[in-house]
Amino acid sequence: MDTQKPYPEGGIIDVYESIKTILRGIRWRPASAGDDDDNPLIFNTVALDTGQYEKVTAKVNTEYGILFPAAFISVKSWEYTSVKTAVAQGEGTIKIRIVLNRLDNHLDRVDTEGFYVADRVIQSLAEQQYLYPCLAYRIFVSTVEQPSSFGNGLQYWWLTYNIQFREKRTTNGDGKYKTATFVMPPFTNHADQDPSLPDVNPHGHSNLAHPRKYDEATSFTSALEE
């Protein structure tokens, strides 16, 4: 099965993949703060949100093993505001659920760790969005929600982003291209043709074989002659 399926350039899939790539590279301190060897990645898991948190915290855990801290991305809604043959424009809402697993989250400084991680996500997306054309169009955070409960040693935060995107419709654009044969007009001299091209003058005619002039071939008549 081919997993590398084509999808519209700049659309929702591009937006999701770009956000996922950025989240997977966020470290606890900004890059300028020191060496990466002493600056670990924040998230051990970054994936599409399919209810992993609810499954883990249920009375019976039905989820596969997950390494925390984790970030789960969900596309809550999107709609198209303009659809044309080759380009479509739209807007939507994406939510990022940050799940932390600090058991001592009531200690000073540790109790604000969620605020810090949320800020690292916001800053990283703002700093790196120019690297991804689909994010450079427009993406901004609208709300940040802190957890209201502490379940099974996990705390989750919501980051809500509003996005606008421009989607290139490859199926209606590039997909309709086809190869065409260029036909030389009858009044072009054989000497002007490129002999290296295929099927050009296959019978080896010369200019003298077609003595008709331009005006004769096109039936052109000037006003003066009339």
What domains can be seen in the chain, in order of their start residue?
Answer: 12-175 (3.30.2000.10), 180-226 (no CATH)
CA distance 63 to 120: 27
Regarding pTM above 0.85, the answer is: no
Is the pLDDT reported for residue 220 higher than 80? no
Is the pLDDT reported for residue 183 higher than 70? no
Please state, rounded to an integer, the average pLDDT across all residues of the chain. 80
pLDDT for the residue 73: 96
Nearest CA to 97 out of 151, 160, 152, 142 is that of 160
Average pLDDT score over residue span 174-197: 67
Non-local (6+) Cβ contacts of 121 within 8 A are 23, 26, 71, 96, 98, 159
Is the pLDDT reported for residue 84 higher than 80? no
Average pLDDT score over residue span 94-103: 90
